[in-house]
Structure 1
Amino acid sequence: MNPGDGERQPRTLSYEDGDVVYLPELTYEDRVRLSKEKPICRLRYPDGHYGWLVTSPTLARSVYADSRFRMRPLQLAVDDGGLGDALSGPELAGEPVRNDPPQHTRLRRALAPHFTPRRVSEYREVIDRTVRERLDAMQDSGSPAEVVTTFAVPVSSATIGALLGLPMSERANWEDPSAVLFEPGTGIEMKKAALRQLYSYLDGVISRKRESGGPDVLTKLIAAEEFSEVELTGIAYALVTAGFYTWVEALASGVRWLLEDRERWELMKANAEAIDRAVEELLRSAPARRGRRSDVRLARTATEDIELEGVVVKAGEAVTVAPVLPHGDPSRDPDLEHFDPSRDVVGHLQFGHGIHMCLGQHLARLELQIALQQLMERFPTLYLADDSGARIDDSTLNGRRDHLEDPVLAPLLVGWY
């Protein structure tokens, strides 16, 4: 099933052949093996139907870029605790990632101008100020400190507030429901209640901005009069949850991954002056999500029979794309397993690829660059700590991935000396 194996004919695997897997049962090592030996294999979905799992970064890029794959109907490879059911209302029409063209095109065309590198640079000041304030608070409270709630969440919320014109005094209105929605351990009724709470808050924000808006993205979208009320609510929901929650996970996961191996942390510090390049290598190499939500990704559905690596995906079958790390093309760079923050990174997939590539990627990069650069400057001796503040032995951490089973916003304790 590898490229270049000659002219063999495509084949259709069946789960009776023993090729079926169930995503929650796979270890990370299983996925690495699959990416090398069977980059596309049969996958059983939670409702019992069968589709496909793609683990190879190269093949993942092909799926992302192929317009014959669609996002609808929405399907997940793991039980999401009812999140999909909760998000099945009319507001779904405002979420770019959950729509196909032409609705996706319409949304993306309206939103993209607000997320260019030049436009997101306007948020540098608020990000820089918030990062410094939170690091001051960490330093004042002393070692150890908890990174997620004391650093990552406030920085992300301040950025979202600036983007959408939401006052920080109201941050609980989007932080609290988001924590319920995206933690798989919460039940469907809790998720529905949290979603109603968040939608109600955003509806109120939109109403206020109609009367007295500002220079923020949400006010500009309202003024354009291009979207219905439910679409505006869906857009606001998508920008709040994607921009807030996903970035918190990315920062926390990145910091933990760097500190699991002291050499990584030292290499990252040594390249702090070229932080943009160093962050790209971190994104290429490190998991950007923690916990079970790392597997809560939308599948693509084939609109016709499509051949992938010698396997035929039938029309109507779902393909879940879960490329293993590190990303990259071994034909261009044979040393992909080595973490090198000075590397000129090309084409990692942490922000996706193709028409559904993350709209907010430039803003996420800016936040990570500022947060990590200042974190390393302020606390060069940072280490992973236990509850007592003692340093956790690096040798017991390097290569371990059991933390990927943590709750999504699990605490991350660090210390310094």
Structure 2
Amino acid sequence: MTTAANPAAEQPEAPEYPMSRASGCPFDPPPGLKAAQQEAPLTRVRLWDGRTTWLVTRYAEQRALLADPRISSDVTRPGYPSPAPVSGSRLSFILMDDPEHGRQRRMVAPPFTVKRVAAMRPAVQRIVDERIERLLAGPKPVDLVEEFALPVPSLVICELLGVPYADHDFFQDNSKTIIRRDAAPEERAAAMGALVGYLHDLLGAKRAEPREDLLSGLVERVDGGELTQQDAAEMGVLLLIAGHETTANMIALGTLALLENPDQLALLRDAEDESVIASAVEELLRYLNITHNGRRRVALEDIEIAGEVIRAGEGVIVPNDIGNRDPEVFADPDRLDITRDARRHVAFGFGVHQCLGQPLARLELQVVYGTLYRRLPGLRLATDRDRIPFKHDGSVYGVHELPVTW
């Protein structure tokens, strides 16, 4: 067993993290992550500020640590391996620990239960069908990101929250700044401030004229003394960003992956069994895993795992993209196979902080993947693959645009 010394002085040769993907392999984790996984479950990497931190690359150790109450998600704790200079906001409860994390999360959880989300299927289907009709009626080629992948989840989350979709340019532009890796702290803070101010005002409007939506429910919590209006506004920002950015990128990147694997696309397009579509969604979540900066934690106590000791105060990064490519769990992990049982993936994380909105994301992807390719059977790229701009510059991976025709 090894013992950890001062992480900042240890292993100056540690590779930088995040790592770069290989040219020509946009769907695969970086080669450096694969090499680290083959070498050991835990290794050291160097952050943007020169500190070193633990990198956890194997599936079993990832799940064990994500479920361990001895590691913290609180970005304000010393040693937390922040992916960029801290801009002053914790983005609500996802960067908190229990009990406050659980208390706030429970306030917004009811609309995201499996049963409540299932009842939204007709509304999601209507939104998808309407956007496809717009594609069919418009010119070709078209940017699938701008005209379909981004509007669909934005419309869905706006309807659930009670946010006017007419304001989508405003919240999408600010969201992009917040998740951009190279944004200056003051840029990120300004974007966050703009969104928080917007949601703060919208909550005030809900107080005057409540509706059947999530934000109106948060107003009741504020009026009952359970939250401040600032807390409620920050919750709204979190749900708004998470509700459209991640799913939009999965729609576009998943479409590109399927176009690159026409045999898998044909299986999905011709499927009459809903279980085949559901299976395809899980496999694409495993194969792509668009949250590619790793889940960040800091140890509260010494933790012995995989022959190492993570000392209290040391940072931990759990990159789910490489965990989902662990050959000990998923046979031939670098192959897209929509018939495999991929439900054990960790694309949504694990433990108490796993994604609150995963039932909604699954539903949206099932409706999109089950409808788009059937309605547009001739869907194909309208440019060379090597000309597609990938999002290497943010905490959410995908494509900036996807020109297609049919």
Give TM class, smaller chain: 0.7 to 0.9
Q: Does the aligned pair in 2 maintain the 1:326–1:337 contact within 8 Å?
A: no
In 1, Cα distance between equivalents of 2:100 and 2:322: 32
Q: Which residue of 2 aligns with 1:351?
A: 348
Pair 1:179-2:173 in alignment: no
Identify if the C-alpha distance between structure 1 residues 146 and 24 changes in structure 2 by more than 3 Å, giving closer, same or farther: same
Could you tell me how far 1:325 is from its partner in structure 2?
4.4
In 1, Cα distance between equivalents of 2:75 and 2:188: 21
Pair 1:252-2:252 in alignment: yes
Could you tell me how far 1:412 is from its partner in structure 2?
1.1
Give CA deviations for 1:258-298 in whole Å, capped at 9, x if unaligned: 22232332233244633112211111112325xxxx32x45
Q: Which residue of 1 aligns with 2:26?
A: none
Q: Aligned match of 1:24 in 14, 18, 22?
A: 18
Give CA deviations for 1:134-184 in whole Å, capped at 9, x if unaligned: 111212224321111100121111111111112222323422221222223
In 2, Cα distance between equivalents of 1:268 and 1:210: 45
Matches within 5 A, 1:155-304: 155-224=152-221, 225=224, 226-271=226-271, 273=273, 274-289=276-291, 294-295=292-293, 297-304=294-301
Aligned-CA RMSD value: 2.6
Q: Which residue of 1 aligns with 2:25?
A: none
In 1, Cα distance between equivalents of 2:404 and 2:231: 41
Q: Which residue of 1 aligns with 2:376?
A: 379
In 1, Cα distance between equivalents of 2:34 and 2:315: 21
In 2, Cα distance between equivalents of 1:271 and 1:338: 20
Identify if the C-alpha distance between structure 1 residues 272 and 372 changes in structure 2 by more than 3 Å, giving closer, same or farther: farther
Could you tell me how far 1:404 is from its partner in structure 2?
5.0
Give CA deviations for 1:337-364 in whole Å, capped at 9, x if unaligned: 4432222333111110000000000001
Identify if the C-alpha distance between structure 1 residues 22 and 252 changes in structure 2 by more than 3 Å, giving closer, same or farther: same
Identify if the C-alpha distance between structure 1 residues 402 and 61 changes in structure 2 by more than 3 Å, giving closer, same or farther: farther
Identify if the C-alpha distance between structure 1 residues 108 and 193 changes in structure 2 by more than 3 Å, giving closer, same or farther: closer
Could you tell me how far 1:335 is from its partner in structure 2?
4.3
In 1, Cα distance between equivalents of 2:177 and 2:260: 28
Could you tell me how far 1:115 is from its partner in structure 2?
0.9
Q: Which residue of 2 aligns with 1:6?
A: none
SS of residue matched to 1:171: helix
SS of residue matched to 2:43: strand
Unpaired segments of 5 or more residues in structure 1? 1-8, 387-391
Give CA deviations for 1:170-222 in whole Å, capped at 9, x if unaligned: 32342222122222344333333222221121011100111111111121222
Q: Does the aligned pair in 2 maintain the 1:123–1:162 contact within 8 Å?
A: no
**TM-score (norm. length: structure 2):** 0.86
Identify if the C-alpha distance between structure 1 residues 287 and 312 changes in structure 2 by more than 3 Å, giving closer, same or farther: same
Q: Does the aligned pair in 2 maintain the 1:254–1:287 contact within 8 Å?
A: no
Give CA deviations for 1:14-61 in whole Å, capped at 9, x if unaligned: 775576221134541111121121221112122222211112222211
Identify if the C-alpha distance between structure 1 residues 70 and 284 changes in structure 2 by more than 3 Å, giving closer, same or farther: same
Q: Which residue of 1 aligns with 2:70?
A: 68
Alignment coverage as a number of residue pairs: 385
In 2, Cα distance between equivalents of 1:369 and 1:149: 20
Identify if the C-alpha distance between structure 1 residues 340 and 272 changes in structure 2 by more than 3 Å, giving closer, same or farther: farther
Identify if the C-alpha distance between structure 1 residues 73 and 325 changes in structure 2 by more than 3 Å, giving closer, same or farther: closer
Q: Does the aligned pair in 2 maintain the 1:285–1:325 contact within 8 Å?
A: no
**TM-score (norm. length: structure 1):** 0.84
Q: Does the aligned pair in 1 maintain the 2:135–2:147 contact within 8 Å?
A: yes
Could you tell me how far 1:318 is from its partner in structure 2?
0.2
Identify if the C-alpha distance between structure 1 residues 199 and 359 changes in structure 2 by more than 3 Å, giving closer, same or farther: same
Bigger shift: residues 374-383 or 355-364: 374-383
- Partner amino acid for 2:243? G
Q: Which residue of 1 aligns with 2:403?
A: 413
Q: Which residue of 1 aligns with 2:52?
A: 50
SS of residue matched to 1:24: coil
SS of residue matched to 2:280: helix
Identify if the C-alpha distance between structure 1 residues 262 and 280 changes in structure 2 by more than 3 Å, giving closer, same or farther: same
Unpaired segments of 5 or more residues in structure 2? 22-29
Matches within 5 A, 1:113-192: 113-192=110-189
Q: Does the aligned pair in 2 maintain the 1:86–1:195 contact within 8 Å?
A: no
Give CA deviations for 1:80-127 in whole Å, capped at 9, x if unaligned: xx5x31525xxx5xx221110111010122222221111112322332
SS of residue matched to 1:373: helix
In 2, Cα distance between equivalents of 1:411 and 1:332: 33
In 2, Cα distance between equivalents of 1:280 and 1:271: 15
In 2, Cα distance between equivalents of 1:48 and 1:342: 43
Q: Does the aligned pair in 1 maintain the 2:175–2:191 contact within 8 Å?
A: yes
SS of residue matched to 2:120: helix
